Structures are given as C-alpha cells and as structure tokens.
Structure 1
Amino acid sequence: MRQALHELTIETRGKGLVMITRPVLEWVADQGIETGLLTLWCRHTSASLTVQENADPSVRTDIERYFEHIAPEAPGRYVHDDEGPDDMPAHLRTMLTNTQLTIPVADGQPVLGMWQGLYLFEHRRRPHRRQVVLHLLGE
C-alpha cells in the first residue's frame, strides 16, 4: 500500500464554480497508483467542493442562482458579518455542500461518470486563492 499527498492552489474570480478536474486527474495519473481511494479536502470555511455535471454550463448557472436564493446576502439578516455581507452566507453555503470528496481510483484514474466534473465552489464575492489537499491511498 502506498500513499501520496499534494496541495492544489486554486485561483478564484469570486463567487462561482471553478472546474478543478484536469489538475486532479493529472496529479493522480502521475502517482502511479492503479487502484485506491482519493480524498480531496478544502481548507476553507467559505468555499467547498462538489461533483457536478460538466457538459452544460446552464447547470452551474442554476446551482449558483439556487445558492443565492437559499443563503442570500441580506444586510441585517445575520449577526456574523465581520468581513462583509457575503461572510455568513458563504459559511452557510459551505455547510450545505462538502469540504471533502472521496472518489475511488481504478486503472490509475478517479472513477468519474461521463458527465461528472470536480469543482471548487467559491462562496465569496472577491477573488481568493484556495487550497485543496489531495490524498491518494492505494497500490
């Protein structure tokens, strides 16, 4: 059994889904582990990870609009607003999504469906530099 650890730095442009599939696939392929388990961990409380459709961009648009609806920026609505009106909604959106993904690896690649992509979901308005830790365990 072998394991490998890596940290991806993802530059965001503000709120929205940022595709991270390619750098994850490339890193896993470089590790030479044929069968195993990949864990992705987002080191933030105002950004998250998701597996979502990667073919039709309107899916991402609808997801982003949905999260604006269920956790809106509304001055006076939240007690915690130390970093502005998008602060607490970002924390709520992170709670409702994932900060960790676990994906099986077979034949040296994460086992993703035909239309599945890996995304970092930025919940803050301004651009950020986000870290996603990748841990691969297998043989």
Structure 2
Amino acid sequence: MFCPHCGQNNPPDSLFCTYCGACLNYDDNNSFQPTPPMNPYTPPQAPYPPYQYPPYPPMAPVKPKQTNPCAIAGFVLSLVSVFLPWFGFVCALLGVILSGVGISQSTRLDQDGKGFGIAGVIVSSFVLFFYVLVIILVAIGISVSI
C-alpha cells in the first residue's frame, strides 16, 4: 500500500505510514479518508532506525566478605563472661584476647567483623574491671576482718 501523503510503500495492514506518519485509515467502502496535501518543499523522511543499546559487559558476581571468626568468638565470650559468674573472669580474659586478634585479622585480611571485635574488647574490659574490683574489695574486706 502506498501512502497518499509521501508516496512510500507500507505494509498492507498499516494504520499509519512508517515513513511520514500520515494516517492510512479506510472508510467502509475501502477508500482513503482525506489527508492534508503533501508539502512540496520537505523531502520524504526515512524511517527512524530502531534504538539500540550498547551491549553490557559481563559482570563478575559479587562475593560477600567473610566475617572474622576470632572477632565473633571474642564477642560471644565477652557476653558469656557477663552471665557466668564462676567462669566469667577466664571468659573475659579470653574474650579480650580473641577480640583483639579478630580486629587485627579483619583489618589485615579485609574481612567483616571489626565491630564484633571492638564490642568484644569493650564488654570484656568492663567485665575484667568488675572482677578486679570485686577481688580488691574482697581482699580489703578479708584484711580488715583479720
């Protein structure tokens, strides 16, 4: 089917011209509806090329960072030292050591878990301070009573 506006050939089932966009509507008796006359001063336009995106480069899958196990163990031991009065001093001491090792390893090996290590050091330090204070107060109480 030829467009009455620009004269270009179009597919037979088109409603609009693919070159100039003119309406290709039919009446019931298969005749064209009136269209404005073609401007003789404008050249016929070529169809628009399909828009193409550049291909994306393949991306490597993102691997999550591993959490340092020493930092986690130090934090867990610091929490255990709060709730276990008989083994609290030993757990707090081990918590400080493991949390410190976890902080240094997570920094050196670019791992997560530095926050666990810092929290483990802080909690264990408070627990150790509490136990040392209790030991000093018990020693003073024993020396006064003798």
Shorter-chain TM band: under 0.3
Higher relative contact order (CA 8 A, sep 6+): 1
When you count strand as a share of all residues, which structure comes out higher? 1
Q: Bigger radius of gyration, 1 or 2? A: 2
TM-score, scaled to structure 1: 0.24
When you count helix as a share of all residues, which structure comes out higher? 2
